[in-house]
A and B are shown apart, each in its own frame.
Chain A
Amino acid sequence: MSQIKDQMPALIMGGSLLIYGLIAKTGAMLPMAKYLGTHKTMDLQVTLTLIVGCIALVGAIVSTTRKSGTSNIDIFVLRPLAGIVFILVLAMVIRWYAEPLMKITSVALQPLLGFKIYKVLNLNYVVLGILVGVVLTNTWGIPKFAAEGVKCARFVLKMGVIMLGAKYSLAELAKLGAYSVLLVGFFVLGTVFLVLWLGNLFKQPKSMTGVLAAGMGVCGVSATVAVAPVVKAKAAEMAYTIGTILSFGIICMFVFPTIGHLANMTPVQFGAWAGTGILNSAQVAAAALAFNSVDIETLKVAEIFNITRVLFLPIIVLVLATWFGKETGQKLTFKSVVIDKFPVFIIGFLLLFFLSSMGVFSPASHYKGKYIDVSYSERTQVTPEGLESLNSAMAANEFSGLTPKQLEAVTDLVKQYQIAGNFADRNDKKVFEQVGRARMAELEGVLAAAKGKQLTLSADVKEALKHAVKQVHKESRTVVALTDFMIWFFAFGLIGLGMQITKKSITQAGGWPIVIGIIAGVTKATLSFFVVLWLIKDVVLN
């Protein structure tokens, strides 16, 4: 009887999830999902709630029928199950309700405040997850049935870091010249050593300093999680680091665009500066768009500089493993650092990154799963109506304002029905793709000129060109699915991480980490500002 009582939370959560999934399956929740902007996730909502609901019910029933022991099933599945389901339910509420509601409220408050509060405070699932965990553990406390599940948080966060590898490809690094990679590397390592020095100066715990160095040097959440086990950082120290990075990013989001305009930076220079100086990728994108919302080049450069930092993650792990070992008085050989201290899950990150770079998940040149495919395909062709509009425009001499290259791209589109290379070069993949991509860039130029009122094109022609460009922009379903897994792993892990942060641990950490973070952040931003102005001219991307 007491076993049934113990399993009651899992039974209630499992039953509720099944009911939710079944109601969602009927489509009754679609109007609300449309209002929240989550209607595209309805299939996922149904699948996830039904699967998790069933697992919770089966797990609870099995637990009631057998005596709890010390077998692997008991330790890793049955005992933590209720807690895992509890955190998953919280993650679902955050991803499907709290985050969209935050966005809607922010948009509604924008006329009053003059800015979108969710963008400024970066109130996405990362922050909301940690906050929910911290609030829960410091108010009502973690429910007794969930305690074992919370212990899985760090493990699931590691899975998120491994999955992160699938999102990137070496082609990203190749887009930046060696010069720029050196620049990024210099600032990553420079910041890490600066934070280590400051931590020593302000007599901070080694674990706090180590995790803060990784977070400030490489990039927010993933670097913090990756380095935490190496320097034995506690949950509160990890959360402190994430908080410091995000708070510093909020200030940067406002200050960077203003300084960029005052210094007359070019879009490329600003992109390079924001990508180097700001840590969180969402905040990098926000600053780049605030500086220049029309020229996509700023955002592209900023994102590529930002992403390149992630590739330094394994190097930083090695550096910090060596530093931490020496600081704690261990005698370290090369073998003990590289083999014994190097976390296995970072090898997983590298393995997925390698597979991604080899083109296993998506063509190797992909960018967060997006890539350009100009090979011959019926799906890539313009519609018959579009083709007719283009032919009519040709006959009516509507393209007279185009440059010779733009005109050649449009003529070829009409000839081949799609953006592609020359038919004669179809066996030479490299040349074929090069010509196709150049034609796509010319067509994008035509559309930009039409948008800027430098060209007058009919709506049908613009639509046909837009459609042709859109058709060669593909998205890998594999990388999208793997990224979704990564997001859910991070959401789960961060809620659990928040649940491990008590008031006492926060007061123990004190205010010094923020001071160190701000000094390091300001130093990096100032130095990179001058270096970018001095070294980066207009051409960065290869």
Chain B
Amino acid sequence: MSDKEKKITIETGDSGKGTTELPASANTEELEERALSVFSSDRNEDITALVLCLLTAFLVLLFTKWLV
């Protein structure tokens, strides 16, 4: 039996809908990590967080400093 056919089960918690079956050859740590995030990679998550924070800071500056 090849690796692709073997299946393993990983714990992803309730937020990752309990457990998930995966091929044995999969990078389970990475998949477990991704199962707990809506983003496809850490970099995407970080960049989105950064952009949203800069936008928030800009709006806060606008309404508490520049327009007052």
Which residues from chain A sit less than 8 Å from chain B, CB to CB?
Answer: 75-76, 79-80, 137, 141-142, 147-148, 150-156, 158-159, 162-163, 166, 229, 232, 234-235, 343-345, 347-348, 351-352, 355, 360-361, 477-478, 481-482, 485, 496, 499-502, 504-505
Contacts and interface: CB of A to CB of B under 8 A. Distances in A.
A158 B29 contact: no
Interface size bracket, B side: 20 to 34
Interface string B11-46: 101111100000000000100110011110011011
A500 B61 contact: no
Contacts of B61: 360-361, 478
Contacts of B16: 147, 151
B38 to A, nearest CB: 5
B42 A159 contact: no
A142 B14 contact: yes
Interface in B44-64: 45-50, 52-54, 56-57, 60-61, 63-64
B38 A152 contact: yes
B36 A348 contact: no
B3 to A, nearest CB: 21
Smallest CB-CB A-B distances: 6 pairs:
A344-B46, A150-B15, A348-B50, A142-B14, A477-B64, A162-B53
A104 B13 CA distance: 35
B46 A137 contact: no
B29 A232 contact: yes
B53 A159 contact: yes
Contacts of A151: 15-16, 36-38
Given A158-B45, A345-B46, A360-B61, 16 more contacts: A76-B38, A141-B14, A142-B14, A152-B38, A154-B37, A155-B39, A158-B46, A344-B50, A347-B50, A351-B50, A351-B54, A355-B57, A477-B65, A482-B56, A500-B14, A502-B11
Given A502-B11, A502-B13, A155 B50 contact: no
Nearest to B43: A344
18 contacts: A76-B38, A147-B17, A154-B36, A154-B45, A155-B45, A158-B46, A163-B56, A229-B46, A343-B42, A351-B50, A361-B57, A361-B65, A478-B60, A481-B63, A485-B60, A499-B13, A500-B15, A505-B13
Contacts of A505: 11, 13
B14 A499 contact: yes
A162 B51 CA distance: 10
Contacts of A348: 46, 49-50, 53-54
Given A151-B37, A159-B52, A142 B46 contact: no
Given A147-B14, A232-B33, A155 B56 contact: no
Given A344-B46, A348-B50, A485-B60, A502 B14 contact: yes
B40 to A, nearest CB: 9
A477 B60 CA distance: 9
Given A158-B45, A343-B42, A137 B60 contact: no
B49 to A, nearest CB: 4
Given A141-B14, A142-B15, A345 B38 contact: no
Contact of B38 (A75, A141, A158): A75
B32 to A, nearest CB: 8
Nearest to A348: B50
Contacts of A485: 56, 60
Nearest to A77: B38
A384 B9 CA distance: 77
Nearest to B11: A504
A492 to B, nearest CB: 13
B10 to A, nearest CB: 12
A79 B61 CA distance: 31
Contact of A478 (B45, B52, B65): B65
Contacts of B56: 159, 163, 482, 485
B46 A500 contact: no
Nearest to A166: B57
Given A148-B38, A477-B65, A162 B49 contact: yes
A344 B64 CA distance: 27
A137 B50 contact: no
A40 B15 CA distance: 35
